[in-house]
Chains A and B, each alone.
Chain A
């Protein structure tokens, strides 16, 4: 990794990273790129988020669905762990609760592949500093 020596370097990295994410969003085949974020804080892991994440990685790869699966911190919905946020290209992110293997399968088959919502969506009820 190159060192960041000035604030200008920092801003350049910020722009680079942002454009990378933008690229992810506005790529040539927007219908094929899906972002999956798995809540991997202690609460999530204790409820089986590791298995859920592994399932998403393996299954999406096996089905050749172009997707990025990443981990993230606690979304705050600890009562519904494991929680998973799925962003289909051009759509608002949707959070699903209680995602075990069966639910993950349903998310892939129904939401990711067909764009139909499934029961168990968790409504987002907070504002962020960007709003």
Chain B
């Protein structure tokens, strides 16, 4: 076994590779060989560190020295000074922007602290099918503490003091919800876990249930103790088979240990949890529709009030919380409300999990303290935009949210700031778009989703969204007029004001926010008949640039509809009336002689 004393990790992500990290690696290796250190130090490429702003990155292990903006010429100094003499190269260290001090150990960097895992604390750490591993990480200790040492009111006070707000989207204070449900007199109450994650692109609830199901079970039992319920229900979509399987295993283990059932931990408290499968309708994430679906009725929302806290499942007081909200509870009780409330912003405490997707390098699941900016999430953690393209917009909050421009990149993310910016937190889907995305088409895409998912009970949502979609369809087909923008806004506001439930009230948000932030793109569609991003096929025109065309006949031979004519070695010509805009000629042409306009 070769016993290397040092490892030099060099970033092999796209950004750093573009900045010559290949050369740096070669150079480091040469110097290591030259000085005879090849048995002591090893150079390896790693995946993206995410800190592309300061790339290329070289990290020296085991002392965690983090070098930024490294150039191939710096290799000599790193090897001679650091590896040979053990003196880190000061000028290449990261300087903290606030304190102006050079930081050597990457664990002391703010960048490393940008992600803090609370709800995801056990995901990717423990075996989700082993209750013992959960217990070894303080599992069920919070339940034990509540049942043994705290009254329900004291527990609720702790949750209220922590400042935890619902992670499903609305952001209602969790402790307050528990208190309201507790204060309603009833012979029977229910705890419901909303695992009907429906936002396109969001998968944090699934990941928590797949990676750490016991944290949700423990929190539901604590909630039951607080509000006075003996029964819990998890409403989960049937499309999540693995999450369901792991949850079932976890429930059985908890029952075998007596952590669910009767007389839990000898305190006389009884609690049992059942699973209810949903068919995966978006509207069933709305709590009244969810409850109806669990009762065996159609998954349609009803008017609030009465709120579920007063009259919910089977007409009994019901406390509905989202998976991620529950996953935070045991940590808050173990570490204390004051620990939790130190994290985040004034009105949004703790962390939020985001599912990063779209045109971003590091697609994945991240958890950041509230108040982190979009720029930090997209550029530092997400590693920036794919293929070095220009950032255009980020969509947060799923079909109920909105699209934010680069003007909002430095806005700290929390519930209130996102609403002020015209979007919302939602469940935490974050879809990044680049210069090639057409915002009108994006709005149309989200509307298509709500159109399909609308339950059809109230007319503003059922008919209004259909009309909105028709107008957008016209615009993307090149038949839009400038007046359409006003009609879109008017209709959107009517739908928002008059729909019955959250789905309809928020469905026009993608339309409104794209008109607000990208009005010029709409105007280009309706006034000039152009799609600036080049996505709306009906507005595109493929043309042959005569000067560049060599008459190779490749496009002519590949055109599926025979729209291209021309003699060999003579410039060709596209008949626009026949062209179906499939783009084959554009892809096949070897001389860049086909232009999109």
Using a CB–CB cutoff of 8 Å, the interface residues on chain A facing chain B are: 1, 3-7, 9-11, 13-14, 17-18, 21, 31, 37, 39-43, 45, 70-80, 83, 85, 92, 97, 113-123, 125-129, 131
Q: How many A-B residue pairs have CB under 8 A?
A: 188
Segment at the interface with A among B118-126, B283-291, B429-437: B118-126
A11-B141, A92-B62 are known contacts; what are 14 more A-B pairs with Cβ within 8 Å? A17-B135, A18-B136, A45-B242, A70-B130, A73-B211, A74-B124, A75-B123, A83-B124, A85-B124, A115-B3, A118-B44, A119-B45, A127-B115, A129-B117
B2 contact set on A, CB distance < 8 A: 114-116
Contact of B4 among A37, A80, A116 (CB under 8 A): A116
Q: Which B333-384 residues have C-beta < 8 A from chain A?
A: 335, 361-367, 381
Q: For the complex formed, measure the closest distance between the CB of A114 and the CB atoms of chain B, giving whole angstroms.
A: 5
Residue in B45, B265, B361 with the greatest tally of chain A CB atoms within 10 Å: B265
Contact of B210 among A7, A74, A131 (CB under 8 A): A74
If A79-B363, A119-B44 touch, whether A70 touches B127 (CB-CB below 8 Å) is yes
- A7 adjacent to B123 (CB under 8 Å): no
- A76 adjacent to B136 (CB under 8 Å): no
Contact of B132 among A13, A80, A113 (CB under 8 A): A13
- B242 adjacent to A41 (CB under 8 Å): yes
- A72 adjacent to B211 (CB under 8 Å): yes
Contact of A123 among B49, B120, B127, B210 (CB under 8 A): B49
The docked-state distance in angstroms from the alpha carbon of A31 to that of B552 is: 65
If A3-B258, A21-B136, A41-B210 touch, whether A120 touches B47 (CB-CB below 8 Å) is yes
Q: For the complex formed, measure the closest distance between the CB of A21 and the CB atoms of chain B, giving whole angstroms.
A: 7
- A123 adjacent to B9 (CB under 8 Å): yes
A10 contact set on B, CB distance < 8 A: 135, 140-141, 144, 265
- B133 adjacent to A119 (CB under 8 Å): no
A5 contact set on B, CB distance < 8 A: 258, 265-266
B47 contact set on A, CB distance < 8 A: 77, 80, 97, 120-123
The docked-state distance in angstroms from the alpha carbon of A18 to that of B45 is: 34
A85 contact set on B, CB distance < 8 A: 124
If A14-B138, A127-B117 touch, whether A76 touches B123 (CB-CB below 8 Å) is yes
- B46 adjacent to A122 (CB under 8 Å): yes
B45 contact set on A, CB distance < 8 A: 119-121
B127 contact set on A, CB distance < 8 A: 37, 70-72
The docked-state distance in angstroms from the alpha carbon of A128 to that of B90 is: 28
How many residues of chain B get a CB closer than 8 Å to chain A's CBs?
Answer: 79
- B136 adjacent to A115 (CB under 8 Å): no
Using a CB–CB cutoff of 8 Å, the interface residues on chain B facing chain A are: 1-4, 7, 9, 11-12, 42, 44-51, 59, 61-62, 107, 111-118, 120-130, 132-133, 135-136, 138-141, 144-145, 147-148, 203, 206-208, 210-212, 240, 242-243, 253, 256-259, 265-266, 331, 335, 361-367, 381
The docked-state distance in angstroms from the alpha carbon of A71 to that of B116 is: 22
7 A-B pairs in the complex with CB atoms less than 8 angstroms apart:
A3-B257, A10-B141, A43-B203, A73-B208, A76-B365, A114-B1, A127-B115
Chain B residue at minimum C-beta to C-beta distance from A112: B1
A122 contact set on B, CB distance < 8 A: 46-47
B331 contact set on A, CB distance < 8 A: 129
- B125 adjacent to A72 (CB under 8 Å): yes
B258 contact set on A, CB distance < 8 A: 3-5
The docked-state distance in angstroms from the alpha carbon of A115 to that of B39 is: 12
- B113 adjacent to A127 (CB under 8 Å): yes
- B211 adjacent to A74 (CB under 8 Å): yes
The docked-state distance in angstroms from the alpha carbon of A118 to that of B10 is: 11
- B365 adjacent to A126 (CB under 8 Å): no
Chain A residue at minimum C-beta to C-beta distance from B335: A129
Q: For the complex formed, measure the closest distance between the CB of A122 and the CB atoms of chain B, giving whole angstroms.
A: 4
The docked-state distance in angstroms from the alpha carbon of A126 to that of B362 is: 14
If A21-B136, A115-B1, A125-B114 touch, whether A4 touches B265 (CB-CB below 8 Å) is yes
B257 contact set on A, CB distance < 8 A: 1, 3-4
- A117 adjacent to B44 (CB under 8 Å): yes
- A129 adjacent to B126 (CB under 8 Å): no
B206 contact set on A, CB distance < 8 A: 41-42
- A79 adjacent to B364 (CB under 8 Å): yes
Chain B residue at minimum C-beta to C-beta distance from A41: B210
A31 contact set on B, CB distance < 8 A: 1
If A113-B1, A116-B2, A116-B4 touch, whether A6 touches B265 (CB-CB below 8 Å) is yes
B48 contact set on A, CB distance < 8 A: 123
- A76 adjacent to B364 (CB under 8 Å): yes
- B256 adjacent to A1 (CB under 8 Å): yes
A4 contact set on B, CB distance < 8 A: 140, 257-259, 265
Residue in A18, A31, A128 with the greatest tally of chain B CB atoms within 10 Å: A128
The docked-state distance in angstroms from the alpha carbon of A112 to that of B270 is: 48
Q: For the complex formed, measure the closest distance between the CB of A2 and the CB atoms of chain B, giving whole angstroms.
A: 8
If A4-B259, A117-B44 touch, whether A14 touches B135 (CB-CB below 8 Å) is yes
The docked-state distance in angstroms from the alpha carbon of A18 to that of B133 is: 8
Chain A residue at minimum C-beta to C-beta distance from B115: A126
The docked-state distance in angstroms from the alpha carbon of A40 to that of B126 is: 11
Residue in A4, A13, A74, A76 with the greatest tally of chain B CB atoms within 10 Å: A76
- A41 adjacent to B49 (CB under 8 Å): no
